[in-house]
């Protein structure tokens, strides 16, 4: 399975592949990639703030806020299994369907 493009938007994004994942583990890896990236960004920011203390200026404070609080809100929104609109679905929706064993043609 080759990824042709990843489009990141303000709330979520899209991953374009040449074909559907060939197995459940591959589908879980693909559909949970964004959520895993959010967890890593959140955890990494917490580690840095714990190690070095509060950011020294407004710019870094804003980044820390974005990578923790805003990121956590986005994570919850992405993890809840739902259809968003215009045919788009959340990562949680796709992951839930994979775990249930549903076919994902057309989500």
Answering whether pTM is above 0.85, one says: no
Give which of 96, 95, 70 is closest to 11, Cα–Cα: 70
CA-CA-CA-CA dihedral for 96, 73, 68, 90, to nearest 10: 30
Residue 88 near residue 25, CB atoms below 8 Å: no
Q: What is the pLDDT of residue 10?
A: 60
Is the CB of residue 39 less than 8 Å from the CB of residue 50?
no
8 A C-beta contact, residue 34 and residue 94 = no
Tens digit of pLDDT for each residue in 72-99? 998 998 899 988 777 778 889 889 999 9
Percent of the chain with pLDDT over 90: 45
* pLDDT of 62 over the 90 cut: yes
Choose between 20 and 63: higher pLDDT: 63
Smallest CA-to-CA distance from 98 within 14, 51, 31, 40 is with: 31
Mean pLDDT throughout 8-16? Answer: 69
Residue 105 has pLDDT above 70, yes or no: no
């Amino acid at each position: 399975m080759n990824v042709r493009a990843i489009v990141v938007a303000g709330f979520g994004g899209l991953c374009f592949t040449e074909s559907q994942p060939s197995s459940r583990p591959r589908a879980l890896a693909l559909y949970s990639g964004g959520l895993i990236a959010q967890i890593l960004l959140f955890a990494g920011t917490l580690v840095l703030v714990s190690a070095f203390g509060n950011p020294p200026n407004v710019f870094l404070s804003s980044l820390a806020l974005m990578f923790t609080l805003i990121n956590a809100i986005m994570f919850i929104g992405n993890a809840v299994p739902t259809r968003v609109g215009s045919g788009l679905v959340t990562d949680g929706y796709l992951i839930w369907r994979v775990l249930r064993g549903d076919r994902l043609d057309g989500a």
